[in-house]
Amino acid sequence: MKEKRISRKRRRQIVLLRNVSLTLALILVLGIILIRVVFINGRTLDVSAGYRIEVHNGAAELSEFRLASAEGFAQSLVACEDEVGKDLVKLSNETEKKLLFNIDQQEAVCAEGIYERIYPASLTKIMTALLCLESGDLERNVVMTEEDFNLGDGAQVSQLDVGDSVSLGDLLNLVLVYSSNDASKAVARTVGGSVDNFVNMMNQKAQSLGMTGTHFANPHGLHEENHYTTLYDIYLMMNYAYKLPGFSEAASKSSTEIHVSPSDGNPYTFIANSTDEYFTGIYSLPQNVTVLASKTGTTDEAGSCLSLVVQSNYGVKYIAVVTGAQNKEDLYTDMSAVLNLINT
């Protein structure tokens, strides 16, 4: 009897050990699956189908895991194919591209040509501004130099002159509100130590944000062949920038007051108006849509471009981008059609 009791006890121990082993194995398997879901798929970022890095950057050697775990790829990013809801809005001409992402729910509402290489024009200044906010002292006084105005014919410049002293914060406002190219160069050399080093900072930041289809060659966006981006990368940049303290405040102004201390006269102020024609009242926003941040861009090669962070009447935030319009009327007509999708 004693031997039978011992035998039953041993059998119970073996069964218990086997159950524990099976439980641990199941936990391990589930853990591996969970890790894959978190680091590869995230909440909405299906990298293999959505980002398609190999399509627009020739980087097919990057694995899904490396791409998804790269710095800057947060779980809250929107992922989609090159075209989503293309027929929801018909653009005015074939050079245009569009994007509308619900960034609160990480959903693509519409997209067209968002991984194709484009010239960004002054949408470049989104990166210039965010680096100014992250790495600059906005109270610092900056003296304008002759090199700041070495921009070529027709470039948009402010009322500043060589020798004028102005705060870095006011230069930031000129960059985002008035799209001033002289202010952009002054920000670059002040924050980066030199314009060339600042451009290196821009490209490093772009990499950290996952902007694999982007290369910056200057801080202002005036045309250069090796200065390019994609609509998806503009989304990544704007999605990061608008969350920085001070960015939306500057990028939602209809005008800005600039305080100047000239080298040979009395201090004065001037008003610079926004280049966004929604803000100036030339064009009207769709009903129940509010702009939280805006950046315009225009060159002959890029066409007319606009990137917005907007909010619906229910507080839902979206990023909208339209590029390549042949004129301002097409740009704002098509952007309004894109924004109208928020109400439907």
Catalytic, out of 97, 125, 185, 253: 125
Site of tokens 């041993």: 10
> Can you read off the two tokens belonging to residue 248?
């939306």
Catalytic, out of 122, 167, 180, 336: 122
Helix residue ranges, H only, 144-194: 168-173, 181-192
Q: Is 4 annotated as a binding residue?
A: no
Separation CA 278–CA 154 (nearest Å): 23
Separation CA 75–CA 243 (nearest Å): 16
Separation CA 199–CA 281 (nearest Å): 34
Q: Which has the closest alpha carbon to 278: 310, 242, 234?
A: 310
Q: Is 125 an active-site residue? A: yes
Collect all residues with Cβ–Cβ distance below 8 Å to 9 and sequence separation of at least 6.
Answer: none
Q: Is 179 an active-site residue? A: yes
Using CA atoms, how far residue 298 sits from 22, 123, 334, in Å, is 64, 9, 16
Catalytic, out of 97, 98, 167, 179: 179
- Just list the catalytic residues: 122, 125, 179
Q: Which residues line the annotated binding site for substrate?
A: 295
Q: Which residues line the annotated binding site?
A: 295
